[in-house]
Amino acid sequence: MAYQVILPAAGQGKRMGAGRNKLFLTLENTPVLIHTLRVFEQDPECAGIILSIHKDDEETFKGLLKEYHIQKVTDLVHGGKERQDSVYNGVKAIRTDGIVLVHDAARPFVTLDTIHQLVKAAEIDGAAIAGVPVKDTIKKAKGLLVTETIERSSLWAVQTPQAFLVSVLRKAHEKATEDQFTGTDDSSLVERLPHKVVIIEGDYDNIKLTTPEDIYFAEAIIKKRKS
Ligand code: CTP
Ligand code: MG
């Protein structure tokens, strides 16, 4: 049941518009990055965290790990241009087999329940991802002209964490690099190996802080959890 984590944290947070990496913004006086790290820090099953960071922010990251007594970060690796590059640099730092979870540092509300379900599923099937049923009606359009309404009952909004056997994730990244394929998540690289991927129904609270209004949602989630 032990697992390791790759935490991509090397983005620029452009859509948040804070002028710096959104992971340094605070919720309840604590940086978003630390909220996310604490979930894994407090889980006895988590064997170690590989944190992928932008090289210009290295001192800031190191300072925060020290200030908040985060012990489980085993490696700081430098991120790349795309999220996929940042994850791949993390994959290259893995030294043991078993299960690896990839989780966006920008999703601080992931629960241990979801994490453990994913690890268990990845042990059986090799690849498992967290997702929630889509609530909106989704349409395809050419420009602004609707071309198709997609049957909603088969649609999932996919999140992180995504859990994999180390060998599967490594192979998927190597093949994507070889083929110059870029995907928006790690599962898409695994799917094209091909390799099966199973969905674990997660939680609508597991939001990714992306645009400014997500800060309000995050504050509401914290308030709800405290009550
Ligand atoms: N990420 C990364 N390396 C990149 C881009 C993103 O490690 N080159 C990380 C981010 O730090 C974040 C996660 O991947 O934890 C999800 O990415 P996203 O929400 O897109 O964050 P940013 O890329 O920082 O935001 P934006 O796209 O608005 O600039
Ligand atoms: Mg991004």
Say how many Å lie between the CA of residue 162 and the centre of ligand 1. Answer: 16
ipTM metric = 0.99
Which of 12, 25, 34, 109 should be mutated for ligand 1, with most atoms under 8 A from CB?
12
pTM of the model: 0.98
Say how many Å lie between the CA of residue 18 and the centre of ligand 2. Answer: 14
pLDDT in tens, 58-69: 999 999 999 999
Q: Which atom of ligand 1 lies closest to the CA of 209? A: 19
Q: Check if 60 has its Cβ closer than 6 Å to any atom of ligand 1.
A: no
Sorted by where each starts, the structural domains of the chain and their CATH numbers stand as 3-226 (3.90.550.10)
Say how many Å lie between the CA of residue 79 and the centre of ligand 2. Answer: 12
Per-residue confidence band for 143, with pLDDT thresholds at 50, 70 and 90: very high
pLDDT in tens, 157-175: 999 999 999 999 999 999 9
Report the 3 state secondary structure along the chain.
CCEEEEEECCCCCHHHCCCCCHHHCEECCEEHHHHHHHHHHCCCCEEEEEEEECHHHHHHHHHHHHHCCCCCEEEEEECCCCHHHHHHHHHHCCCCCCEEEECCCCCCCCCHHHHHHHHHHHHHHCEEEEEEECCCCCEEEECCEEEEECCHHHCEEEEEEEEEEHHHHHHHHHHHHHHCCCCCCHHHHHHCCCCCCEEEECCCCCCCCCCCHHHHHHHHHHHHHHC
